[in-house]
Structure 1
Amino acid sequence: MYVQVKQFVKMLHTLSRLLDKAQRHAGENKSDSAVLLNSRLSPDMLPLTSQVQMACDTARLATSVLSGKKPPVFEGMEKTIPELKALIQKSIDYITSLKECDFSGWEERIVAPDGWAGAFKGEDYFYQHAVPNFYFHMVTAYAILRHKGVHIGKMDYIGQLPFLR
């Protein structure tokens, strides 16, 4: 499990770097970054701001319930790139505060996140909801930025790879 937690952290750092590129793009094009933050791929989809918030929420909730900890609650009132980057960092700080031993027995732990209609085995919750949901919001955030002309590519999404030298 702890390896997967590290992947959440890696991808949240990636999301922060994508927002840096979005900020530069807005500056270079003399446009308001709020336009990017309120952009969406389809009228029935949530805007970029919500995609970032939900990626952070998913990573925090998943690591919380699978470690048996109470998840931290953030208001979700971010409206600027610096505020979103601060949310990402707070999420990373929380996730990295958990220790590998906190996840002992996570696969069999019964989890019932607040507001959910039922409970899951930890392994089912993680692989069938948390991971796909996290990556859905990550990819959607990337796609919105790309669609709005921010100069990013596949390697900006994948990030640094741990090549052996």
Structure 2
Amino acid sequence: MAFTLYDAFVPTVRQLLDAVPGVISKAEQHVADSGCSDAELIEARLADDMWALPWHIRSCWVHSGYALDQLTGTEFTPDFTRIPESWDSMRAMIAEASEQLAAATPEQVNDIANREIDFVLGGETRFTLPGERFLLGFNLPNFQFHATTFYDILRMKGVPLSKRDYMGNPAGPMFRQR
């Protein structure tokens, strides 16, 4: 059985994306139960030189659904303009990414594999990679880093989360958990 670029990228990202709304709900419940404010969580960061919580949702969006849209061409330019400012706007951004991934066909994603992709930042090409390496060696690790950091910030702030909250349904979005 052949393992495609679509198989390697889309189901894994969808699994983790589909878990994020539950993590957000637990964060909101923690605010209600603990007396901390939404701002205390939303403005939290792991270290002073790291981005605050909403940036990690933005980065999950950038390195998943947005990436697939960008990679229909030959350039990837991250979007730094859309930063969610509330739990609902975080959910909306994750929902948009999930919808983009759900709409992606294996043919569309696999077509990216051999295309040369330029990473453009500030109008300047920083590096070029084959599409397969761009998705698996750049976007996927970035996505996983930011999904993990989002989870870690909330855990650090006392939100009662487990590994299962982070992982979601390992069978994937098409299968129901028992």
Do both share a fold (TM > 0.5)?
yes
Q: What is the correspondence of 1:20-31 to structure 2 with a 5 Å cutoff?
A: 20-31=25-36
* Of 98, 104, 110, the match for 1:104: 110
Say if 1:58 and 1:130, in contact at 8 Å, map to a contact too.
yes
* Of 86, 89, 114, the match for 1:83: 89
* 2:6 is equivalent to residue 2 of structure 1: yes
Say if 2:54 and 2:84, in contact at 8 Å, map to a contact too.
yes
Alpha-carbon shift at residue 66 of structure 1 (Å) = 4.1
* 2:11 is equivalent to residue 11 of structure 1: no
Between the aligned partners of 2:108 and 2:75, the Cα distance in structure 1 is 12
Say if 2:65 and 2:101, in contact at 8 Å, map to a contact too.
yes
1:59-80: CA deviation from partner (whole Å, max 9, x where unpaired): 1243234444998968413211
- Gap change, CA 1:67 and 1:103, over 3 Å in 2: farther
Query: Structure 2, unaligned stretches of length 5 or more?
Result: none
The one-letter code matched in structure 2 to 1:87 is M
Between the aligned partners of 1:41 and 1:112, the Cα distance in structure 2 is 30
Say if 1:40 and 1:47, in contact at 8 Å, map to a contact too.
yes
What is aligned with 1:117?
Answer: 126
Q: What is the correspondence of 1:130-141 to structure 2 with a 5 Å cutoff?
A: 130-141=139-150
Between the aligned partners of 1:45 and 1:33, the Cα distance in structure 2 is 19
* Of 156, 160, 163, the match for 2:169: 160
The one-letter code matched in structure 2 to 1:157 is Y
- Gap change, CA 1:35 and 1:149, over 3 Å in 2: same
Could you tell me the percent identity over the aligned residues? 25
What is aligned with 2:50?
Answer: 45
Between the aligned partners of 2:94 and 2:87, the Cα distance in structure 1 is 10
Say if 2:66 and 2:97, in contact at 8 Å, map to a contact too.
no
* Of 99, 110, 135, the match for 1:126: 135
What is aligned with 2:61?
Answer: 56
Number of equivalenced pairs: 165
TM-score (norm 1): 0.87
Cα RMSD (Å) of the superposition?
Answer: 2.5
